Chains A and B, each alone.
Chain A
């Protein structure tokens, strides 16, 4: 007991200090942020990313993870809803971001004006992508983890994870008419359908790259899906989540050179799939920006589904 409390007291975060995102995610047991959450230029973060990438390859032992705090689960809405209306605390009050605010909207944060205002104000400022690598004409953003269903996840400010579609998906799905993404507070699971893409009356689902609870939604991309076409890794991001199993999840994603190899394989696979009847092999340029628009006899949803692995 004394041992346990000693351990616990050891992990107290001093006032004014913030946990490193790797501590927040349970990957390391104790590490404070000393870089103002600017992970992109933090050498510790780069070291950890490398380590995770190496661990994925070698499956060596990983540091002991601490159980994750359970304060932001989907059931909090249910708990609050059992209270009388005047006592239902707004999620921003629960997280301490506002002093006192009662929810008058039955936790339908997606169409709450206050929520929208808070999101606009608090939107973790979009980190500019530092560099892009090109793999056979498909762009890869650096510092981003890739799911084999062509969605990406980027751990950033405060331990949250931003999610979007990768450039391969962007070119494959082409001009979307509409898309649906999970609402704030909704739980998503790695490898399970979290989004729905619509084009010419067909729908295809896309998979979540990591587990967690949605905290922010990109309302702009909902109103204007062409933002994905403009910049899939920046303005075209889809939602932000509070991850619940980041350490485990990252192991299943591609990063760095692995992401490049995977993309190369996928590019070859797509070309071979599209040319399986005429058996043409070609030495040539980048893919069209709207791949299926160039294929007269190919069904959009069949092809997209195959590669988004939904």
Chain B
């Protein structure tokens, strides 16, 4: 496993609990292609039982992000955790993903990205599309990008899964420019 420490900086994807390897591989390739950032799949991390919230019966993004931050390897720019468990942050009923603004860690849940969650047929292609969009979105936040007003931009805030399906797996020209510019700054 070699990590590039020169430009552009790298992303390591960690499964948080069991996650199919094929999904993670696909994500790594897609992120690398779309963002021109080196991206690879790192080792599996334990199921985040520590983040369980008894009242909400979901897992706290805040606690997961804190934990990720602690074991963040200094030679990767960004840690992207992917998990099957249902995530939340205060005041939202659930989240597809969360990141720390201008931070080094982000987490994505497959729970509500899976078509089966909505009573639809299993569809790996659709799941992967949703996952890539959510990953790009969270990486955008990590670079300090805020939500975009354009419905088709990947930085548009998804409230429901339909919003995610309606947006492209890409940044609008403005957000892309900002993404590139911020990315330069991190190297």
Contacts and interface: CB of A to CB of B under 8 A. Distances in A.
A283 interface: yes
Contacts of B65: 278, 280
A105 to B, nearest CB: 46
A284 B138 CA distance: 11
Given A136-B157, A285-B159, A285-B160, A280 B101 contact: yes
A283 B98 contact: yes
A288 B93 CA distance: 5
User: Which among A268, A285, A291 has the highest number of chain B CB atoms within 10 Å?
Assistant: A285
Please tell me the size bucket of the interface on B. 20 to 34
Interface string B70-112: 0000000000000000011111111111111111000000000
A287 to B, nearest CB: 5
A271 B61 CA distance: 14
Contact of A284 (B97, B100, B102, B146): B97
Interface string A103-146: 00000000000000000000000000000001011000000000
Nearest to B108: A283
A279 interface: yes
A74 B96 CA distance: 54
A286 B93 contact: yes
Contact of B95 (A136, A270, A284, A295): A284
Interface in B117-149: 134, 137-138, 141, 146-147, 149
A280 B92 contact: no
Contact of B98 (A282, A294, A295): A282
A286 B89 CA distance: 11
Contacts of A291: 91
Interface residue tally on A, bucketed by range = 20 to 34
A77 interface: no
B75 to A, nearest CB: 23
Contacts of A279: 100-103
Interface in B137-173: 137-138, 141, 146-147, 149, 157-160, 164
19 contacts: A264-B149, A270-B91, A271-B92, A274-B90, A280-B101, A281-B98, A281-B100, A281-B101, A283-B97, A283-B158, A284-B92, A284-B94, A284-B158, A285-B92, A286-B93, A288-B91, A288-B92, A295-B90, A295-B91
Listed from nearest, the 8 A-B pairs whose CB atoms lie closest are A284-B95, A281-B141, A285-B93, A282-B98, A285-B94, A282-B95, A279-B101, A136-B159
